[in-house]
Structure 1
Amino acid sequence: MENPSNCVEKQPGAEIAPNQVLPPAKKVKTSSMDSSFPVLLPEDPCLRMSDTDFEMHVLKALPALVGVENAVGAMHINAGGDSDRASAGITEQKTTGNVFVDALDRAATDPDSEKAHKDEMARQNRMLTTNGGMAYASTQSPLLELFNHVGGRESDCTVKGSLAETLKQAWQIDALMTLKVIWAVRSIHLGKGERKMFYTHLGWLGKHHPRTLLLNLKWLYKPVVKKDAKEREGDKQVIVGKVEKAEGGDGMEVDDYDVTHGSSHGYWKDLLNVLVLSAEDKLDMSDPDQVLLRDHRIPKNSDGSQPQKAKRGGQARRHGGRGRAKVSQEGGKKTPFDLELEQKAASKAAKAQRHEHILNRLATDPFHRALHLTVARLFAEQLRKDMILLESSKTNKEALREISLCAKWAPSLERFHDKYTLIASTIAELLFSDSALDPHSHSETTGYELSREAYLKRAREQYRANTLSPLRKALAIVERDISAKTFSNIEYSHVPSLAMNRYKHLFNENDGPRFMEYLGKVGMGETKISGAVLTPGLLVKTVMSAEGRQENTSLDRTVADMQWKTLVQRIRDSGNLNSAMAVCDVSGSMHSTSYRRDISPLHDAIGLSLVMAEVTQPPFGGRIITFSCDPEIHIIQGTTLTERVENISSASWGYNTDFIKVFRQLILPLAVENKVPPEDMIKRVFVFSDMQFDEADTDESGWCDKVEGNLGLTHQQIVQQEFRKHGYEVPELIYWNLAGNPGAVPVTSQMEGTALVSGQSQVLMKLFLEDGVFGEEEEDDQEDRGEEQGPDVVEGDGDGEWGMIHKERKRKRKGVDPMSILRKLVGNEAFEMLRVVD
């Protein structure tokens, strides 16, 4: 019997001419039940265990690692003492006890002094930048090294080895803090928002501490991050149902840490990405995008041309293959029909090969199997909750607000994540039992038994049609309306920022009047546009790229300007800065885009500097210092992002990175010449750079050419000397590393009055935005008698009872250092639920 989808109904008496082109056959509506996609997975007895039993099973099934602790107590953050001892073990060398004799011994082994100089550099933790500037080889804290590691060359074996060693050392010093640092690297709303680097860290964690990885996955998508004050107005922003320790256990449930309408560190898709990496045996220190972007690349022929692709339903197919042999014999070329058959055969073989690979990974790798089951259970649990909320929304519309984004990111059938893991089969099996799908599937009276493959196909179709589809409709996911071409249904104020960037031209082409009306309302402040989670560098790149194009330039800039205002307002809502200024590196090395696609460190530096200029209070706000060959001060002009970027772009951009000139030729000469009083002097400087500073020239007094061990001063030491020489307090310097590769660092972990930050996210700026108060308050030591003390305070109950007597002591602002900033970040309550179990 012929397939009706391939036939055309003939009219009585009608003849079809040999060369007549027939209209395409009407497509028969199908479902996933009709697909040839392999869906079969073996039944796993662990799938339907209780959470407690499953957790115990996972811990028991995974191989124990030799030499790791099985229990970790309360969080202990080491301020650096253990780190210093670890570093000392690396650089410590034999000594006679006499410095001069030690120098003689080193020189004797290397008459040319080259090795002696290298040894001296290593002994003092020094190295040169790529431009010859003196810097430190490391921060001397593995924890700080880990957080400030910058990505870009994940495929470089040296970089991978260095990162793995840093993770190992950090874990040995403080396992729990290391875990929190790893989560902070991913945290979109509190940390760096890095995806690739986070997956690389998880690769190490999965290899060395797999149980810890599995049991903390849920904290990627749970709403544990409190929103900023202005953002959460009208919402009850408290941790829900946090309970006391229960007898015989910790008493904490997963939902106990949820924040009403809170945010998450990552998103549901992270779980699926990690699972795909594991399925492909690439959950390691390699570049995750080599796997995750695989299906987004179009393969090319050896000559660089695109491969020929058969047109489905083409003329040859409609002719039923007539003439195919003739064409093949005459020209020796394959017909579209031949190509289509070959592609079908190749596709079928590829599907079978992937299926075999999936089954093999689940059967032979205990960690991957545990990860697969864990991810499936987490998705199924949340989808069940969301379906209950969806059902209750029929009588209570507020329930719709409580539906999570799980369905948005849940794996679609036969798409990328399901294609490489078959995770949709496992989720569907959890949601729909065989008896629920067919009550008579095991009936003794009918003698009918549903095969496992048929059952999984039914379950997957139910998952698609009765779970994902209604939930995605309720969530008003923009892609649904784009696919259905129902643009009039899209509520543009609810479109996420990344989706707005991706689809703005599509909105304009298909729903122009309404979309432009929406943008007009945003401009007048009548509605909102998302943009807070975008990076400043991305928006700067958007407006700079628009300069050379005529097409769509206006729309690109308009949307970017509006998203910029949202981004800046989110930072302002967290606080502000006083007496601070941004120093923006515009040298040649900042133009490279090799490490982050088409966004360069220069885009990030300009973007972050402009954010700083907008959130800093007058009179320092609205000003930026740029530097390359020579520093320049810019009073930011313009009201839009486009105008401000154009203003900065007028700076002289050279190929040098002369950081010291910022202070020697600009800040300090102006202060001395104008007799600036200390209270009016700049108090903190944010340096946005790749940190590859030039070699510093000596000043006229020759102060900067020597230090102990005959090594030159670092840039931080030179800045300190310059300010003290002119009688000014040294400002706090925040070095924000935008490099694509790891390298020299300007300061070490315990260097007071400094901070180290890296990455492209403006979110980390919030660490310094507590209404301009930089640092923590601390009480003076009781032994310090030099400070004036306040009066005694008596606390009583007001009824004549004796109260407690406390001394009110003068409080001072505690100076910051790189480790204190890291402690402040990971000390946030949104990280407190993480736990180490192996």
Structure 2
Amino acid sequence: MDTNNPSNSGEKSPKTEMTPPQQPPPAKKVKTTSMDSSFPVLLPEDPCLRMSDAEFEVHIFKTLPSLAGLENAVGGMLIDKDDDSSAENEETVKLKTTGNTFIDALDRTAADAGGEKAYDAEMARKNRMLTTNAGMAFASTQSPLLELFNQVDHDGDEELLKGTLEQAWEVDALTTLKIIWIARSIHLGRGEKGLFYRQLGWLGQSHPRTLLQNLKWLYRPVIKKDAKKREGDEQVVVEKVGGGEDGDKMEVDDYDVIHGGSHGYWKDLLNILVLSVGEKLDMSDPNQVLLADHRIPKKRDDRSRAGGRQRGRGGHLQEERTKAHAKSPMEQKVASKAKKARRHEHILSRLATDPFHRALHLTVARLFAEQLRKDMLLLEFDNKNSNEAALREISLCAKWAPSLEHFHDKHTLIASTIAELLFPDSALDPDHHSEATHALSREAYLKRAREHYRAQTLSPLRKALSIVERDVSAQTFSNIQYSHVPSIAMNKYKKLFAKMDCQRYGDYLDDVANGKDTISGAILTPGLLVRNVMSDKHLPGVTSLDSTVADMQWKTLVQRIKDSGTLSSAIAVCDVSDSMNSPLTQHKIAPKHNAIGLSLVIAEATQPPFGGRVITFSKNPSIHIVSGASLTEQVNNLRFAEWGYNTDFIKVFRHLILPLAVENKVPPEDMVKRVFVFSDMQFDQAQPNNAKYDRETKKVEKYQWQTHQQIVEKEFREHGYEVPELIYWNLAGEAGAVPVTSEMEGTALVSGQSQALMKVFLDSGTFGEEEEDDDDDDDDQEGGENQKMEVVE
């Protein structure tokens, strides 16, 4: 008998609860590759992929409609129409007579009370308009090129932007093209992607060949920068695959500037392609497409979710996501598959029916494939020879190249085309004439090519580049070299670094503070850094981190400006009135943040005795001596200035600068020579009474038409001083209401929030022009490439 069995021991077995049989543990998820994905990758085979560059250009340009001369013809039609309408308008202005002179006089008085029509006509004739604060200003710069250069967003006024571009192109097409690129240029221009994409939309519609021909100038490092040359930084020469003879060698750096900067980045090409496939490469807001999938929280409480449904694009997407979560897993899977199929069908349709989109798709793919090949050769050369110079020459193409099934690939399937260029079927199967290869379906081939693209190209190149996102995704923060993290990534991930790698990140910041290490920050805008140190909406401790990082990045930014050159006899005038609190950018940066940041940059870059000083103006202007070693201290110091109220620009000169000069008998040679005005240009009324129509004299007094610039010039000369050069920097302006015209000497118009354009005004700057008018021999020395933008009709 088994005494261990209770049923055999004679004892009553205790009552136990019945438990269900244990289920076997779920099978461990097998790691898969893109080969196992159901993501649709199929694109039709295109013979253009196997053409040489010259053959491709000839072939693809033939498929595009020729628009040369169309604009001039339309322009002529519009001019004729305007002339006819003007004559017609002149006739309609005349009031019909009643036959009774007294009644006619009453009618004229009622129709023109106060002489408004005469006043408006005179305003238009004199190129005048009023600011929102009733200040007299010019209605136009009277130069289409300057109007385009000074272009502000205008709240998405597509017709206004289109008209400005067309007029500028008619005056000088090449200069217009360069101004469009200046809108994007990170190192020499405004760094504004939104405005640039809108202008490219017009370019694609009006001059598609020109757009395609110049895409390469977005990412090529053609801007000279002041960088220390390292040993071994000469051009790296590597052998092509299968080469060995001189004819098979190539200079990878055959057209670019060593350690140079680019106007844009590789991701611009992908963004442009996404806009095109969605039929939104036009003058509408590109963010409606490019930000549609981004940063929509997956989980929100009922209250915030309900509120989200009522607010804009984000609320709409959140509502759609909420509906999706209400479906069963099977329904979600079916819906997702159907959505992918619809998107795939749309991609195929766009490639088949729109010649420009097909040309753009193929051009972008070829540009990526060409650079990735060069970078892989450099990586292989480094692996074989341990050549650090080769490693430093690897571009950032792989960083921005489309990841499989992510945003850009999902909407365009561009990764399929790049993969096909890099890995033709002959490269995947040496015996590509075999029956097995021929039996392989095109879809299966593309999946193999895409997997090779991911594993054999993107992965090793991104590893070599130490792309920070790789370690963030894998949570291997100990691998991150913080001194190599780009400024935008540092600003984005700083809180995550502090949380996940507290000790190392803290030690790194200490080293930066003590001058033992460096931090990137040169391409951040001053307004972003000022906003970071002014924000009071963060938790304690986080605010301290924001300020600490911003202070360090500020020093890097200022040093880059100082390395580019210096200013002398200059001072900034900073508008801190109420109107500068809006509009906010998508990063919550107000014009006031930009005004303060740019003014402090001027104060830092200007030599004594004018350096370290800022003039603030609103109701009462005041000169402020900037104190404090850090950005946080400097901004807090400026907060003691009088902020708010109105925008009395004339008081800066009439009640501050000129009285100080006169009372202290300042000689003309010691007077300020250059004044930067950071404002929204909505100045207050400068005269006791603005221009009014006088019924008795039937005219407007001449002096009342004077703008702020004209008044400043007059009063300086009356006191025996030369007028300083005035740089009007528009930070939030509306259409029209410009302070000067193109023919007014000693003035400049600038707009945007980037400090890069400041380099134009620096003395002995080391940032050269991206294009120089050198002899043709120089082109041969640069590898035979003509480094010039061109207009192609």
Smaller-chain TM-score bracket: 0.7 to 0.9
- Aligned counterparts of 2:458 and 2:612: Cα–Cα separation in 1: 48
Partner of 2:4: none
Give the direction of change, closer, same or farther, for the CA distance of 1:152–1:68 in structure 2 (3 Å limit): closer
* Structure 2 residue 725 is matched with structure 1 residue 770: no
- CA distance in structure 1 between the partners assigned to 2:649 and 2:734 by the alignment: 19
From 323, 340, 343, the equivalent of 1:354 is 343
Deviation at 1:58, TM superposition (A): 1.6
Match of 1:205 in 2: 203
Choose between structure 1 and 2: higher helix proportion.
2
Task: Give the alignment's TM-score, normalised by structure 1.
Answer: 0.78
Matching of residue 714 in structure 1 with residue 712 in structure 2: no
- State whether residues 222 and 770 of structure 2, in contact with CA within 8 Å, keep that contact through their aligned partners in structure 1: no
Q: 1:835 aligns with which of 771, 781, 790?
A: 790
CA contact (8 A) 2:567 2:761 kept: yes
CA distance in 1, matches of 2:578, 2:398: 45
Residue 20 to residue 688, structure 1, CA distance change in 2 (3 Å): farther
| Aligned residue in 2 for 1:561 | 551
Superposed counterparts of 1:292-311, under 5 Å: 292-298=290-296, 306=305
Aligned partner of 2:213 in structure 1 is: 215
Question: What amino acid is the match of 1:750?
Answer: E
Superposed CA deviations along residues 526-573 of structure 1, whole A, max 9, x for unmatched, are 221100000000000000015764131221111111100000010001
1:645-656 equivalent positions in 2, closer than 5 A: 645-656=635-646
Q: What is the CA distance between 1:233 and its match in structure 2?
A: 4.5
Matched with 1:290 is: 288
2:273 equivalent in structure 1: 275
Alignment CA distance shift 1:424-1:548 (3 Å): closer
Q: Are the aligned partners of 1:237 and 1:262 in contact in 2 as well (CA < 8 Å)?
A: no
Q: Secondary structure at the match of 2:678?
A: strand
* Structure-2 separation of matches of 1:565 and 1:589: 29
Residue 38 of structure 2: aligned partner: 36
> Deviation digits for residues 57-79 of structure 1, max 9, x if unmatched?
12111011151599xxxxxxxxx
Note the alpha carbon deviations across 1:178-199, whole angstroms, 9 max, x for none: 1111111111111111111110
**What's the offset of the Cα at 1:402?**
1.1
Instruction: Report the Cα distance in structure 2 between the residues aligned to 1:603 and 1:747, rounded to whole angstroms.
Output: 24
C-alpha separation between the residues in 2 aligned to 1:197 and 1:828? Answer: 28
Contact 1:579 1:684 in 2 (8 A): yes
User: In structure 2, what is the equivalent of residue 609 of structure 1?
Assistant: 599
Alpha-carbon distance in structure 1 between the residues aligned to 2:753 and 2:723: 27
Partner of 1:369: 358
Tell me the alpha carbon deviations over residues 712-746 of structure 1, each in whole angstroms, 9 at most, x when there is no partner: 21000111111112121111111000015433110
Q: Which residue of 1 aligns with 2:560?
A: 570
Q: Could you give the per-residue CA deviations for residues 391-449 of structure 1, whole angstroms, max 9, x where no partner exists?
A: 111113221111111000000000000000000000001111113223455524x5861
Is the contact between residue 604 and residue 738 of structure 1 (CA under 8 Å) also seen in structure 2?
yes
Q: CA deviation at 1:523?
A: 1.3
Structure 1 residue 621 corresponds to structure 2 residue 576? no
Quick check: 1:180–1:831 contact (8 Å CA) kept in 2?
no
Does the CA-based 8 Å contact 1:181-1:826 persist in structure 2? no
> What letter is aligned with 1:117?
Y
**Do the aligned partners of 1:583 and 1:626 also contact (CA within 8 Å) in 2?**
yes
Equivalent residue number for residue 151 of structure 1: 153
1:404-415 correspondence to structure 2 within 5 Å:
404-415=395-406
Deviation at 1:698, TM superposition (A): 3.9
Residues 652-687 of structure 1: CA deviation (Å, up to 9, x unaligned): 112200000111111111111111111111111100
Which 5+ residue runs of structure 2 have no aligned equivalent?
A: 1-17, 88-104, 238-250, 307-321, 693-698, 775-784
- Give 1:709 deviation, angstroms: 5.7
> Counterpart of 1:259?
257
Q: Which residue of 2 aligns with 1:131?
A: 133
CA–CA separation in structure 1 for the residues paired with 2:252 and 2:180 = 20
Q: Is the 8 A contact 2:568 2:607 kept in 1?
A: yes
Letter matched to residue 140 of structure 1:
Q
C-alpha spacing 1:828/1:510, structure 2 compared with 1 (3 Å)? farther
Q: Is the 8 A contact 1:240 1:260 kept in 2?
A: no
Segments of structure 1 that go 5 or more residues without pairing to the other structure are: 1-15, 71-81, 95-104, 242-252, 308-332, 774-822
Counterparts of 1:565 and 1:744, CA distance in 2: 35
Structure-1 separation of matches of 2:686 and 2:333:
65
Equivalence map 1:388-787=2 (5 Å): 388-394=377-383, 395-397=385-387, 398-440=389-431, 442-444=433-435, 449-546=439-536, 549-698=539-688, 711-739=704-732, 741-771=734-764
User: Aligned equivalents of 2:325 and 2:148: distance in 1?
Assistant: 54
- CA distance in structure 2 between the aligned counterparts of 1:747 and 1:20, rounded to whole angstroms: 83
1:537 touches 1:608 (CA, 8 Å); kept in 2? yes
Distance across 2 between alignment mates of 1:336 and 1:128: 53
Letter aligned with residue 402 of structure 1: E
Q: Distance in 1 between matches of 2:668 and 2:84?
A: 40
Query: 1:56 corresponds to which residue?
Result: 58
In 2: Cα distance, 1:547 partner to 1:368 partner: 44
Q: Secondary structure of 1:630's partner? A: coil
1:548 to 1:456, Cα distance in 2 relative to 1, 3 A: closer
* Aligned counterparts of 2:252 and 2:215: Cα–Cα separation in 1: 11
Q: 8 Å contact 1:584–1:606 — kept in the other structure?
A: yes
Give CA deviations for 1:193-238 in whole Å, capped at 9, x if unaligned. Answer: 111111011000000000000011011111111003xx34548999
Pick closer, same or farther for the CA change 1:731–1:91 going to 2, 3 Å. farther
The residue that corresponds to 2:124 in the other structure is 122
Three-state SS of the structure 2 residue aligned to 1:756 is strand
What residue is the counterpart of 1:45 in the other structure?
47
CA contact (8 A) 2:277 2:412 kept: yes
Provide the rounded CA distance (Å) in 1 between the counterparts of 2:494 and 2:703. Answer: 59
1:182 alignment partner in structure 2: 180
Supply the RMSD in Å over aligned alpha carbons: 3.4
Distance 1:443 1:238, change over 3 A: closer
Q: Give the conservation status (yes or no) of the 8 Å contact 1:153–1:595.
A: no
Q: CA deviation at 1:168?
A: 0.3
Contact 2:236 2:252 in 1 (8 A): no
